Amino acid sequence: MAKRVVIDPITRIEGHLRVEVVLDDNNIIKDAYSSATLWRGIEVILKGRDPRDAGFMTQRICGVCTYSHYKAGIMAVEDALGIEPPLNAKLTRELMNMALFFHDHMVHFYQLHGLDWVDIISALKADPKKASEEAFKYVPKGYNPIATGEDELREVQKRVAKFAEKGDLGPFKNAYWGHKTMRFTPEQNLIALSHYLKTLEIQRIAAQAMAIFGGKNPHPQSLTVGGVTCAMDLEDPSRLGEYLQKFQILADYANRAYYADIVMAAAAFGNEPSVVQLTNLGNFLTYKEHQIGANEWLFDASGYILNHDLSKFYEIDESKIEEDVTHSWYKDTGFRHPYNGETVPNYTGYVDGKSVDGKGNEVNAKVVNPQGKYSWVKSPRYNKKPMEVGPLACMAVNYAKGNPRVKKVVDEFLAQTGLPAKALFTVLGRTAARMLQTKVIADYGIAAFNNLVENLKSDKSTVTPYKIDTNKEYKGRYIGDVPRGMLSHWCRIKDGKIENWQAVVPSTWNAGPVDGNGEKGAYEANLIGMKLADPSKPLEVIRSIHSYDPCIACAVHVMDVKGKKLGEFKVDPLYGAC
Amino acid sequence: MNEATIQKIKERLATLKKLPGIGQKSVAEVLEEHGFTRRDFLKWSAAMAVMLGLPTKFSPLIAEAAEVSDRLPVVWLHLAECTGCSESLIRNDSPTIDNILFNFINLQYHDTIMAAAGWQAEENFEEAMEKFAGRFVLCVEGGVPTKDGGEFLTIGPHAETGLEKLKRTADKAAAVISVGTCSSFGGIQAAAPNPTGVKGVYQVINKPVINVPGCPPSAKNIVGTVLYVILFGALPAVDNFNRPKFAYGLRIHDLCERRGHFDAGEFVEEFGDHGAENGFCLYKVGCKGPYTFNNCSRERFNQHTSWPVQAGHGCIGCSEPDFWDSMAPYEEPLANHKFASATVDATADKIGATILVVAGVAIVAHAALSAIKNPKE
């Protein structure tokens, strides 16, 4: 008989998320539901406000990808007003952006996702000497491991052992230690545990790198419509030097720890079915990101691939982005372009049902109604097709397009691990892709810094002046690829005020419920077929969901309380709207 | 300094030493495990004394209090928020204070950090409610949706609303700390027209609440407040918005590095101009420093790396109630605006004296945190 497992809250993510899976007698997932359980309404709040304030407010969509929506909010307005910020401003924004990627990806792997791969209790049994020797096996050529010296590992072990002896593991309590799908040896666990602790230190450096030009982190405050405000920091060589040094520390750590640990995970987990099962949803969408020169991007693909096919790359057509709310807690049905979205909340809640609990018993719980509405997240679609977005999409689509930097890094990784390219389309591959994206930034991103320094020699401008004509109507959008994938913000300005604002965010693409055509989004589709070792400890599900780096506050944003039409203009494929 | 107060604290600490802990180890032991020397520890204590607005004379007492203080159970709830406050917290330093905090407080529930999920997370939560009833500190991140019964947020397999969960948790907490502007005053989602009816925590529960606003608050202010509770077993002295005076006692403007330019009448007229390149005052491009109570200009952010005004952008007033509405537009001066904080001026001056009296009187056994009373004057 079919059993259901409700997992709520999904912890170690940003925001509030529930996932439910339906299992057959062999504990194989037959169906899955993803439900976001919080809605905030920031776009409604934006209406009628000064367009110059939009960036500060959109930034508060998320405190994790804290810079992504800030930049998007500012750039959507610049696009609407037709402003081209000076190159200095663009490159300075990029330096902050790269600091964000380092921070986000490293914290995600070690602090949020890591505990799905690393068994802390097992690490206590490790031989530090053997572990120290083993660490050399996984680093890329030319690098030595970090934070894995024998004495250092012994200290880590001692510290955690003392912690464990007390009987109360605090934040580590009641996790799935000893789970059958944990595949690291005690020594490998110890290496990763040491990096878990080291990353707490490294992530502070990433935050500082952003704060040099951003004033603070999270929620930096140095962008303004037209440019950046940190003119003094840019003219101070010691500030530039500070950034350079921090970038180097981060890039170095990416290679010596992050890269190495993913190679280690590939070796250890390569035969664990739940992490190497091919994704059911084979469509991937991305947009160009990381401007490193006047006309150069690290990831230059704006397009998609279909059905896991790396041999065909398609360019994006912005007019084909739509959202559907058939199973989302809003009124209205059918697909709409974000400019024409109509969104009125319509909460119908959960229904009474049963779930396997943490002890393996079937107990009463609230469950989703699959026929009805069951999430605050909408279902974005491209040309009516569900798409996965995120670092995996960025790597796969850029690979398909033939981006030489991406090809080099991906091919080297595949060669070192002995995995085929297809292995990218798995839970393991998704986690690896996030690291590979970090590595491309680590290896090539410094070009943005060098170009900025070069440009500053002859050009001091940081802001492009502009005026908002209150008799004129404007519209514009931002599209980019932030740490969690393709992000777009769409705005319209009238009488000098924001008339309409819409954001279509990465986690919406991945976490949305089934659409009106019965097509499932990435979370739901890709869980199907996965076998659980123990339904009371659904680690496989959690590991899969974490591999997307869910950001749910980002995903639950869209609404117009009055049910007013959000746009009355037609979509233009060149400019998004006209 | 009042010798009698110091004597009183010493006596309290002597009493504390004789009390049983809650089965965990002392801060000093934890520090030792992390490789900190006694000297590091004393330096840290002195820094905390300054941070908390206490004379350095107090630093040995802080050290002593920390040593006899066992780990404090903490439950951290996420409501309508963006996780920026938790992110801010993990950036904390004071030599690797995040490590200290990780070990120092007994973190029972924090859904961004904890290893357990789903039913196991729920179990941790319920166990903490029972085992540490009346003794844990509740930190809340995020505002509370209240419209239509609070249906805009549910948590857990029984789909309990955030509002219900907060009330239930607050009932059993020894102290409640609102971390960030959202839990303090509602924050961004409560900005007009507040579509989900979001309120601050203090507006929906019947307990004294310490507000640590800021969007997000600096790690120092979060940790400083939690440490205050740990060290003194009491809530710090607060202003009339329930903000700890040690952090929110002065205006941004009071200690601003660009203050000299304000006094000299030198202003940035628009971003990117000569004034911007030379660090002139940002008032005319919208700086809300004169109306905002916080210690950003003194403590800065990210281990003193910078703060918005240093990066050339004015303060947007993020630690004031309703700042999303009252301080906008953020890049224009307030001029004739009305703003909630004007009334704070009168209460912002007595910081030192008040805090000491409260601290001295309220040092109670950490094991009996339920003795905490509202120190609001």
Nearest-Cα residue of chain A relative to residue B128: A170
Residue A203 forms contact with B (CB below 8 Å) = yes
| Cα A471 from Cα B322, distance rounded (Å) | 30
Q: What mean pLDDT comes out for the span B163-175?
A: 95
Cα-Cα-Cα-Cα torsion A367, A370, A375, A381, nearest 10 degrees, comes to 150
* Amino acid at residue number A547: S
Chain centroid to CA A502: how far? 19
Q: Which residues of chain B neighbour A13 with C-beta distances below 8 Å?
A: 112
- For B63-84, write each residue's pLDDT tens digit: 666 555 446 788 999 999 999 9
Pick the residue from chain B with its C-alpha nearest to A542: B117
How many Cβ atoms sit within 10 Å of the Cβ of residue A280?
15
Contacts of B310 in chain A (CB under 8 A): 215, 232-233
Average pLDDT over residues B201-207: 95
Q: Which of B82, B85, B194 sits opposite A62 (nearest CB)?
A: B82
Our CA-based measurement puts residue A427 at a distance from the nearest CA of chain B, in whole angstroms, of 19
- Whether chain B has a CB inside 8 Å of the CB on A164: the answer is no
> Which chain B residues are within 8 Å of A536, Cβ to Cβ?
119
464-503 of A, contacting B, C-beta below 8 A: 464-465
Picking from A14, A62, A207, the nearest residue to B91 by CB comes out as A207
pLDDT for position B32: 62
**Which of A385, A386, A391, A401 lies closest to A309, judged by CA?**
A401
Kindly tell me the burial class for residue B130, based on how many C-beta atoms sit within 10 Å of its own C-beta (0-12, 13-18, 19 or more).
exposed
ipTM given for this complex: 0.93
Q: Which residue has the higher pLDDT, A59 or B353?
A: A59
pLDDT given for residue A452 in this prediction: 98
Which of B24, B107, B188 is nearest residue A60 as measured by Cβ atoms?
B188
Q: Which residue has the higher pLDDT, B279 or B9?
A: B279
Residues 47-106 of B with CB under 8 A from A: 78, 80-88, 90-91, 93, 96, 98-99, 102-103, 106
The verdict on a CB contact (< 8 Å) between B311 and A221 is yes
Asked if B115 lies within 8 A of A41 by C-beta distance, the reply is no
For chains A and B, count residue pairs whose Cβ atoms are closer than 8 Å.
311
> Which residue from A12, A18, A232 is facing B277, i.e. has the nearest CB?
A232
User: What was the pLDDT predicted at B36?
Assistant: 59
Q: What is the pLDDT of residue A249?
A: 98
Shortest Cα–Cα distance, A116 to chain B (Å): 8
Task: Give the minimum alpha-carbon distance from A214 to chain B in angstroms, rounded to a whole number.
Answer: 6
A226 touches chain B (CB under 8 A): yes
Q: Are A94 and A228 in contact (CB under 8 A)?
A: no
> Taking CB atoms and an 8 Å limit, are B196 and A41 in contact across chains?
yes
Per residue of chain A (578 residues), what is the pLDDT tens digit? 789 999 999 999 999 999 999 999 999 999 999 999 999 988 889 999 999 999 999 999 999 998 999 999 999 999 999 999 999 999 999 999 999 999 999 999 998 999 999 999 999 999 999 999 999 999 998 999 999 999 999 999 988 887 777 667 778 888 999 999 999 999 999 999 999 999 999 999 999 999 999 999 999 999 999 999 999 999 999 999 999 999 999 999 999 999 999 999 999 999 999 999 999 999 999 999 999 999 999 999 999 999 999 999 999 999 999 999 999 998 887 898 887 766 678 999 999 999 999 999 999 999 999 999 999 999 999 999 999 999 999 999 999 999 999 999 999 999 999 999 999 999 999 999 999 999 999 999 999 999 999 999 999 999 999 999 999 999 999 999 999 999 999 999 999 999 989 899 999 999 999 999 999 999 999 999 999 999 999 999 999 999 999 998 888 765 443 334 433 333 333 333 32
Among B33, B93, B120, B166, the strongest candidate for a mutation testing the A interface, having the largest count of A CBs within 10 A, is: B120
CB A393 within 8 A of CB A285: yes
Q: Calculate helix-pair angle for A186-214, A260-269, nearest 10 degrees.
A: 140
pLDDT of residue A568: 35
A421 touches chain B (CB under 8 A): no
pTM for this predicted structure: 0.89
Is B124 touching A (CB cutoff 8 A)?
Answer: yes
pLDDT of residue B311: 98
Catalytic positions of A, please? 14, 62, 65, 69, 484, 507, 551, 554
B18 pLDDT tier (thresholds 50, 70, 90): low
- Give yes or no for a contact between A160 and A120, defined as CB atoms under 8 angstroms apart: yes
pLDDT, position B67: 55
Whether the Cβ atoms of residue B285 and residue B314 lie closer than 8 Å to each other:
yes
Q: Inform me whether the C-beta atom of residue B151 falls under 8 Å from chain A C-beta atoms.
A: yes
Identify all chain B residues contacting A60, using CB atoms and an 8 Å cutoff: 82, 84, 187-188, 215
Are A63 and B34 an interchain contact pair (Cβ–Cβ within 8 Å)?
no
**A195 with A259: CB under 8 angstroms?**
no
Report the mean per-residue pLDDT for chain B. Answer: 79
Q: Is A389 helix (H, G, I), strand (E, B) or coil?
A: coil
Closest to B176 (Cα-Cα) out of B77, B87, B86, B98: B77
Residue A65 at interface with chain B, using a CB cutoff of 8 Å: no
- Chain B residues in contact with A42 by the CB 8 A cut-off are 188-189
Among the partner-chain residues A45, A63, A222, the one whose CB lies closest to the CB of B83 is A63
Q: How close does chain B come to A346, measured CA to CA in Å?
A: 10
Residues of chain B neighbouring A230 (CB-CB closer than 8 A): 311-312
List the beta bridge partners of residue B212.
Answer: B179
DSSP B295-335: SHHHH-BTTTTB-TTTTT-----TTSTTHHHHS-STTS--T
The DSSP bridge partners found for residue B76 are B110, B139
Task: Answer yes or no: do A465 and B312 touch at CB < 8 A.
Answer: no
How far is the C-alpha of A421 from the C-alpha of B2, rounded, in Å? 72
pLDDT of res. B90: 85
Instruction: Convert the pLDDT of each residue in B308-347 to its tens digit.
Output: 999 999 999 999 999 999 999 999 998 644 444 443 333 3
Q: How is residue B242 written in tokens? A: 């329930």
Using CA atoms, how far apart are residues A33 and A18, in angstroms rounded to an integer?
8
Q: Which residue of B has its CA nearest to A358?
A: B119
Q: Which among A7, A11, A225 is the top mutation candidate for probing chain B, defined by the most B β-carbons within 10 Å of its own β-carbon? A: A11
DSSP code for B285: G
